[in-house]
Structure 1
Amino acid sequence: MDLQEFLDHVDSGRLIEGESAAHEFMHAASQEALRTLAELNGAYRSPDEVRALLSRLTGRNVAESVTVFPPFYSEFGKNLTLGEGVFINMGCRFQDTGGISVGDGSLIGHGSTLTTLNHSMDPARRADMVPAPVVIGRNVWLGAGVTVVPGVTIGDGAIVGAGAVVTKDVPADTVAAGVPARVIRSTGFTAPSSV
């Protein structure tokens, strides 16, 4: 299995069966990501060096307008897309195997976790994983320590309060908070169409 075959597999939402070719590919690819992240997180890196390492991690060019404060963690890297003007604070963990997209101008608070894989409920099949992407729209603000679970979309201009656990979609231009997160009000603004 190659990278494109794997991405096609997970992007279609198909099961990653334990000990399958997809499972083995995922684990091998994670070793490459861990090597890159050890370099990123192991010493001071200039903003340009951080972006170069993120470009290696993701396999795509990361824009000059992107800022990431290490440490930053990702177990796969190759299914992560960062838009223009994205800011990711320290200590964030992105489990991007199932796909994470962060839209232009979005801010991710420190210690936030975005997850894209669920394990099987059946104990005999617990190694099986179901991928589901996380989509963060444009101009979204996730407060510190937010957790977003697989399959969630957060709409443009939304704000998610610190410590929230987001288990279902958050509409555009709303504020969500709590565990589990729920919409508590409108932001009173409409997200701009670009950064």
Structure 2
Amino acid sequence: MKKALYASAALALLAGAAQAAPTQWTAASGGNDHWYEVIWARVNLTWEQANAAAMAMSFNGQNGYLASITSAGEQSFLDGVNNAFTTSSPSHGGTYVTAWIGGHDKNTEGSFEWTSGEAFSYTNWSSGEPNNYGGNEDYVQGWWSGNQWNDNGSGATLQKYVVEYNSPSQVPVPASLPLAAAGFGIMGWIGRRRKKA
């Protein structure tokens, strides 16, 4: 199963995916400093295929994943990113807005979570959604009705998905490093004093 997903992801990448350059939602503007990228695969992908393709991507040394939208502010930011990408991609008529995001309830029906395993704390469902139509809608598509969400089935396919990358964290200086530097400094000072004596 995993081999098929990775093969599908590779096919999607080789199909000439169009994408907008990653855009950062900065902390200065109220964001989380994560980077987001809209991918138009130009082929139809299931949520699982889009998820595998997102995980195969990286930016600034960070692995990608289907976007988790955890606040109204993040939704608003991504509305702008997705809409800007759509209007800048006239080759598909400027109307193909809907895209896979990282939400699902495939583990427990009705308990939606992000690919990280984090339960939904914010939702943006369209009226009447999620409805588990046909008894098999486990995956979340964004921008289905305006900028709202819909649950969709495992056989459903879309050509767009949104990838999120965490912000690279600064590597902390080990606590022992300043102590070691101080120790070497003291040893050097003692060594110089002995030479003088």
Which TM-score bucket, shorter chain as reference? Answer: under 0.3
Bigger relative contact order, structure 1 or 2, given CA contacts below 8 A and separation 6+? 2
Name the structure with the higher helix share.
2
What is the TM-score normalised by the length of structure 1?
A: 0.23
Quick check: which has more Rg, 1 or 2?
2
